[in-house]
A and B are shown apart, each in its own frame.
Chain A
Amino acid sequence: GAVVSQHPSWVICKSGTSVKIECRSLDFQATTMFWYRQFPKQSLMLMATSNEGSKATYEQGVEKDKFLINHASLTLSTLTVTSAHPEDSSFYICSGGGYTFGSGTRLTVV
Chain B
Amino acid sequence: AQTVTQSQPEMSVQEAETVTLSCTYDTSENNYYLFWYKQPPSRQMILVIRQEAYKQQNATENRFSVNFQKAAKSFSLKISDSQLGDTAMYFCAFMPPGAAGNKLTFGGGTRVLVKP
**Residues of A participating in the B interface, judged by any CB pair closer than 8 Å:** 32, 34, 38, 42-46, 49, 91, 93, 95-96, 98-101, 103-104, 106
Shortest CB-to-CB span from B83 to chain A, Å, is 22
Interface of B is mostly: loop
Contact call B100/A95, Cβ cutoff below 8 A: no
Interface residue range, chain B: 20 to 34
16 residue pairs of the A-B complex, CB under 8 angstroms, read: A32-B100, A34-B102, A34-B104, A43-B106, A43-B108, A43-B109, A44-B106, A93-B45, A95-B45, A99-B35, A99-B50, A99-B93, A99-B95, A101-B45, A103-B42, A103-B43
Contact call B44/A46, Cβ cutoff below 8 A: no
Question: B55: CB under 8 A from chain A?
Answer: no
Contact call B102/A95, Cβ cutoff below 8 A: yes
CB-based nearest B residue for A4: B45
